[in-house]
Amino acid sequence: MTNSMIVANILHRPMRTAVSVIAVAIQVTLVLLVVGMTTWMRVDNARRQEGIGADIMFCGSTFQAFFLSGAPMSMKFQQILDQVPGVKVVAPVLIQTTLAAGGVSNVYGIDLPTYSALSGGFNYRSGGPFEHPYDVLIDDLHARNNKLKVGDSMQLLAHTFRVCGIV
């Protein structure tokens, strides 16, 4: 009896049934899209950071974990952390998520000497370290995907940067 009532209701109100099915399909699609995108961002970020050599990352209250954006901690804490026994290097990093050519990208602002001391330095495929203001280092994956080479210009964070090295 119950099944015949359900079928009769669906047949009697086909437009309402179609709208309900479409609404549920859109909701499920959006949930899968958001989960897939956040999983991709997390895995890509982990893959890019696994060779750095850091044991701990401190994050302050301005850090936005979902978008991996902001200053994880104020620079004033670098001196405090440098004095903690067992701490070898404190390397400040500013992370900014941006829409760039090819999609969503994370831009890392680093202090090259401390970052190199932490990670053992970059393995340069071509070019070298920063020489001038608005120089940028890019990884080989980004260079290949965007057909960039040392000396090329790229738009990033509303500025034009010169690619000085590919790592």
The answer to whether residue 51 is domain-embedded is no
Please report whether residue 104 resides in a domain.
yes
| Residue 162 sits in the same domain as residue 84 | yes
- The Cα 61–Cα 41 span in angstroms is 21
3-state secondary structure of 121: coil
Do residue 31 and residue 64 come from a single domain? no
100 or 153: which leads in pLDDT: 153
Whether residues 103 and 30 fall in one domain: no
pLDDT at 67 over 80: no
Residues 141 and 90 in one domain: yes
Average pLDDT over residues 13-34: 93
Q: Are residues 10 and 82 in the same domain?
A: no
Q: Is the pLDDT of residue 141 over 70?
A: yes
Cβ pair 92, 114 in contact under 8 A = yes
Together in a domain, 83 and 123: yes
51-60 residue pLDDT tens: 666 667 776 6
Distance CA 163, CA 129 (A): 10
The residue among 26 and 110 whose pLDDT is bigger is 26
Domain that holds residue 82: 56-166
Average pLDDT over residues 92-100: 76
* Pair (89, 147) in one structural domain: yes
CB 112 within 8 A of CB 89: no
Q: Classify residue 46: in a domain, yes or no.
A: no
Rounded to an integer, what distance in angstroms lies between the CA atom of residue 4 and that of residue 9? 8
pLDDT attached to residue 1: 57
34/115 same-domain check: no
Q: Are residues 26 and 78 in the same domain?
A: no
> What global pTM score does this model have?
0.64
Q: Is residue 101 part of a domain?
A: yes
Residue 73 pLDDT: 66
Name the β-bridge partners of 96: 107
> Does residue 50 form part of some domain?
no
DSSP letters spanning 19-77: HHHHHHHHHHHHHHHHHHHHHHHHHHHHHHHTTS--S-----TT-BTTTTBB-SS-TTH
Q: Is the pLDDT of residue 33 over 60?
A: yes
How many structural domains are present in the chain? 2
Contact 17, 10 (CB under 8 A): yes
> Is 84 part of any domain?
yes
Whether 76 and 151 share a structural domain: yes
Name which of 3-7, 72-76, 150-154 the model is least confident about.
72-76
Residues 28 and 62 in one domain: no
Instruction: Give mean pLDDT, residues 23-34.
Output: 95
